[in-house]
Structure 1
């Protein structure tokens, strides 16, 4: 007796949220994740501290160790390692998430909300004269092209008012004052705008929008562009 083959599931969609520090990326990503699951869309949220590999404790432990090296490290050690090292370390981190979590989820028909995608890293390296922009683009070129990039646009001064505090990394290690944060983040914002022009992103000026307005606009795009009703 011939057994009928089960059809492959419809691939999931990848939705990424990008913007400068303080734009509200994590807030929107978490809300979209919850809303999509509530609406019956099987969805996972992947962020910079997501280390769980489904059904594999050993791989999860390995990913967690790499996360600790990349994100949970001493600031002095981080600066001593240099920009080329951190570019490649970040590329390794994003590659592991892609290989072990994102691609398997998409293939199984699960949607992925990606917070803290690599676009901001490319923007930071585009203004770093010590590292080739071509090299930075190449080490992330193998990552899955998102089905939708939601770009939360806000000026650095407004972002700082929302954040209230910042790290040395968020000033590009240029200083500790508010103006260092503002100058650096506005430069990163300009680079994200250049990527936006090449990528057909959903660009939202969120400076005068509250969280509900941002969420409503984002879910409207999910329905219009990806036919995902939330």
Structure 2
């Protein structure tokens, strides 16, 4: 049931995150969902891994963009030399700035945020990394804004690979270059994501065998039922 705002206040926006393994269709759904919500009169913004624009502050935008370049626009071979602890803390710094400077201000202004590439998949990856304590990974992300809803896209890793057509070394956990290595690693990530689900905030969407429109309709129906939004 939707909560009525106090007179004279702006109702807070909702934070909706999309998670799942590589190839599940997270970015496709997130983009389409923002378009659907805005078309329904629900002011919504898409925040992804390259969103660096800080409203009305070019200097901060430039700073956030610089951090984004370090984290996501780096040489893959150099990245592997930096080690897992470095990348955990670098990613924590990136998510912290994006949450503080972009996500929270949007929510406070009454704008919904659809967050693509949320930190849940990173936690799942580190949970299967024996070189980094799981507790440490959880702690460095613990302060981030808690989503109002997490849409967990479920798909078999083999089908995800067929959709993608190819994969990076990171997407196979640096375990090998064969398709079986991708499937094996993504299966472990799926298991970890499943263990982290919260019945109150996570909703699973089975995307296997569905086209983009069907997945979008499923997600929109979930939002309608959860938040009583405008006609979607």
- TM-score band, normalised by shorter chain: over 0.9
Q: How many Å separate the matches in 2 of 1:99 and 1:183?
A: 35
- Equivalent-residue separation in structure 2 for 1:187 and 1:198 (angstroms): 21
Secondary structure at the aligned position of 1:202 is classed as strand
Aligned mates of 1:140, 1:147 — CA distance in 2: 16
SS of the residue 1:196 aligns to:
coil
Matched residue, 1:3: none
The corresponding residue for 1:41 is 42
Residue 86 of structure 1: how far off its partner (Å): 0.3
User: Do the aligned partners of residues 200 and 15 (structure 1) sit closer, same or farther apart at CA in structure 2, a change above 3 Å counting?
Assistant: closer
CA gap 1:40/1:198 in 2 versus in 1, 3 angstroms: closer
Kindly state the Cα deviation for residue 198 of structure 1 after the two structures are TM-superposed.
5.9
Where 1:31 maps in the other structure, the secondary structure is helix
Determine the C-alpha separation between the residues in 2 that align with 1:221 and 1:227.
10
Deviations 1:96-137 (A, max 9, x none): 000100011101101000000000000000000000100101
Let me know the Cα RMSD of the aligned residues.
Answer: 1.1
CA distance in 2, matches of 1:153, 1:199: 18
1:153 aligns with 154
Residue 207 (structure 1) aligned with residue 208 (structure 2)? yes
* 2:46 alignment partner, SS class: strand
- Find the counterpart in structure 1 of residue 141 from structure 2: 140
Maintained 8 Å contact 2:126/2:137: yes
Displacement of 1:155:
1.1
Instruction: Give the drift of 1:7.
Output: 2.0
Q: Which runs of at least 4 in structure 1 moved beyond 6 Å after TM superposition?
A: none
TM-score of the pair, normalised by structure 2: 0.95
Name the residue aligned to 2:224. 223
For residues 207 and 42 of structure 2, what CA distance do their matches in structure 1 show?
Answer: 26
Q: TM-score, normalised by structure 1?
A: 0.95
Partner Cα separation in structure 2 for residue 206 and residue 227 of structure 1: 24
1: CA distance, partners of 2:139 / 2:28:
30
Change (3 A) 1:129 1:199: farther
Structure 2 unaligned segments of length 5 or more: list them. 1-6
Q: Does residue 64 of the first structure (1) align with residue 65 of the second (2)?
A: yes
